[in-house]
Structure 1
Amino acid sequence: MKKYALKSFMLVSLTSLLVLAGCGTKEVSTGGASSGGTTTSIGAQVKHEIIGIDPGAGLMKQSAQALKDYELTDWKLVEGSGAAMAAALDKAYKNKKPIIVTGWTPHWMFAKYDLKYLKDPKGTFGQDEQIHTIVRNGLKQDAPSAHEMLDRFEWSPDDMAVVMSAVTDGKKPEEAAAQWVKDNADKVDSWVKDLAQDPGKKLKLAYVAWDSEIASTNVVKAVLEEKLGYKVDMLQVEAGPMWAGIADGSADAMVAAWLPTTHQDYFDKYAGKFEDLGPNLNGTRLGLVVPAYMEIDSIEDLKTK
């Protein structure tokens, strides 16, 4: 009898230890039908991977810093591209699977999917950013109408989303931009009012292949060509060459400078070699993004305890 009682006591004690041991890790349910509502750690669900974009992007630098700030030593930031990140998100979302991606606003994915930013209590990703228009030194003298139009250019995240969504739905960027210009005649007219035509003069606009910058650069190109007569070439490059091109004069302008955080290193590196015309869009944001169906709210929740 005593032997049986001792065995029972040991069994209960062992069970208690196992329960306590399981309390050391944040556990989150995916909520997906395919998972059957099972509960496992968020790290295990996504293989401790955060799906990123281009390795040279400022967002990737900040995301890498977030791993350090939040002591996520067992996590990996996966390099790739904006397109690869979007494809991975689309696949996961359709199957209601967990995924964590590096995200930014404005971006069409927020219109297409129900997403949320993970809270960033340490402030690693900083405050909301602006997108600035940057032109080469001397553009005001060489192409005054273009310079003034670029200086006046300003639109909203909702404006940009219209163009991005149209492209996502299958329209060519130039077609989506032309349609937006047609549908927003009053706003466009305010950018070119009383400016002289400059037919045939060539301009080069540099941009990175982000959906937001594809949208804005195509709209600016359409306005410069349709309203002022310029001949505009678009130069798709990475962020570093984009800034270098403006600094050395091989490109005339860009409407794709994310400040004061994402492109701050380039802004400082080439200081004095360009002209900053100020923000053309306010209300941007950067951070780690997850589908709303995931039961996780903060970057702090990613840490294995």
Structure 2
Amino acid sequence: MFKFDWKRLSMAAGLSLTLVAAGCGSSDEGSEDTSGDSSEGGESTEQMSYGEEMDYEITGIEAGAGVVAAAQTATEDYENLAGWEVSTSSSGAMATALGEAYENEEPIIVTGWTPHWKFAKYDLKYLEDPKEVFGGAEQIKTMVRTGLEEDKPNAYTLLDQFEWTAADMEEVMLNITDGAEPAEAAKTWIEENQDKVGEWTNGVEDVDGTEVELVYVNWDSEIASTNVVAEVMKQKGFDVTITPLDNGPMWESVSEGEVTGMVAAWLPATHGDLYEQHQDNLVDLGANLEGAKVGLVVPSYMEVDSIEDLKAAE
């Protein structure tokens, strides 16, 4: 997605779409008169205004999250989103709203990102973004403070070698969502993936209480990744502290050398501005996860496929 003091992201446009006969309780008879598929672009009396039902609101996460900023830009760049607003809250509040809407098969649009456990739990889809407001695929990268390689080479090596897949991350996230404590979910994943963990720790010597502090933004994805890395480092003898922060302070703390680093940098879009601001004062260790994505997400039962399918508030 993701989002690291810990790696988060409103709506006012009407959406009218023709529902199939089974979905709105009509029969096939007389469908020619109400289909809404005429060459003149007529609208069916059975069309539903999703936007009106949702009060023309996109459900967002934290106000400082890149995906929220992109959603706000979308309401400006897409004429058909005139009158829509992006509500901001938290990743947890967004997930709760999504779950409640999904259970009742109600319309909802959320600011979403991959990897995220919601894609494993619910049948969801990204809305197409013809204007590419949300950008393309993203990477989640590892950033550490300058001088770490010289001061704590074993910590540097382990962080440099850390990489996994979206499926790996989502497995940990879903375990946490189902009730496991983050540290316990991390330990479970580590026990079941010793081959992968062995690649991260290759050449890393055991240490005796070397202090390490990792920061992250309080996104489900970054809670998962940071806890996994922290548990692996603890098993090598490090004394690890993990600290949740807002996006800005997370980057600032690494660039100012106050903490060891983070595995929660979403680039090039989500944290692009923060990277530009701090890149000269930290060390970029490259991607630890490829194929991350952000955008507007809806349940698959909604009859809408593109942002351009939405309609402006009336």
State TM-score, norm by structure 1.
Answer: 0.88
Select which of 282, 288, 298 maps to 1:280: 288
Letter of the 2:17 counterpart = V
Letter of the 2:62 counterpart = D
Q: What are the equivalent positions in structure 2 for 1:104-253 lying under 5 Å apart?
A: 104-226=113-235, 228-253=236-261
Look up the SS of the partner of 1:125 in the other structure. coil
**Which structure has the bigger radius of gyration?**
1
Deviations 1:229-278 (A, max 9, x none): 00000010111000000011111110000001100111111121100000
Partners of 1:198 and 1:266 lie apart in 2 by: 33
1:79 alignment counterpart: 88
Q: 1:59 to 1:152 in 2, by over 3 A?
A: same
How far did residue 166 of structure 1 move? Answer: 0.5
The runs of 4+ residues in structure 1 deviating greater than 2 Å are 28-31, 33-40
Letter of the 1:279 counterpart = A
Report if the CA contact (8 A) 1:98-1:291 is conserved. Answer: yes
Letter of the 1:280 counterpart = N
How far did residue 41 of structure 1 move? Answer: 1.7
Gaps of 5+ in 2: 1-13, 27-45
Aligned residues: 280
RMSD in angstroms over aligned alpha carbons? 1.9
Q: What are the equivalent positions in structure 2 for 1:53-68 lying under 5 Å apart?
A: 53-68=61-76
1:7 alignment counterpart: none
1:11 alignment counterpart: none
Partners of 1:231 and 1:30 lie apart in 2 by: 57
- What is the percentage of aligned positions where both structures have the same residue? 49
Gaps of 5+ in 1: 1-24
Partners of 1:30 and 1:194 lie apart in 2 by: 59
Could you tell which deviates more after superposition, 228-237 or 64-73? 64-73
Partners of 1:212 and 1:177 lie apart in 2 by: 12
How far did residue 29 of structure 1 move? Answer: 5.6
State TM-score, norm by structure 2.
Answer: 0.86
1:260 alignment counterpart: 268
1:28 alignment counterpart: 17
Report if the CA contact (8 A) 1:137-1:275 is conserved. Answer: yes
Report if the CA contact (8 A) 2:60-2:90 is conserved. Answer: yes
Deviations 1:209-237 (A, max 9, x none): 111100000000011110x2000000101
How far did residue 295 of structure 1 move? Answer: 0.4
Deviations 1:139-180 (A, max 9, x none): 111110010010000000011111011101110000000011
Partners of 2:264 and 2:115 lie apart in 1 by: 12
Report if the CA contact (8 A) 2:173-2:224 is conserved. Answer: yes
Report if the CA contact (8 A) 2:15-2:52 is conserved. Answer: no
Letter of the 1:105 counterpart = T
Letter of the 2:285 counterpart = L
1:102 alignment counterpart: 111
Letter of the 2:156 counterpart = H
Partners of 1:79 and 1:266 lie apart in 2 by: 20
1:13 alignment counterpart: none
Letter of the 2:61 counterpart = I
Partners of 1:42 and 1:63 lie apart in 2 by: 18
Q: Counting helix residues as a fraction of each chain, which structure ranks higher?
A: 1
Report if the CA contact (8 A) 1:30-1:98 is conserved. Answer: no
Establish whether residue 90 from structure 1 lines up as the match of residue 99 from structure 2: yes
Letter of the 2:97 counterpart = A
Report if the CA contact (8 A) 1:29-1:294 is conserved. Answer: no
Partners of 1:36 and 1:202 lie apart in 2 by: 64
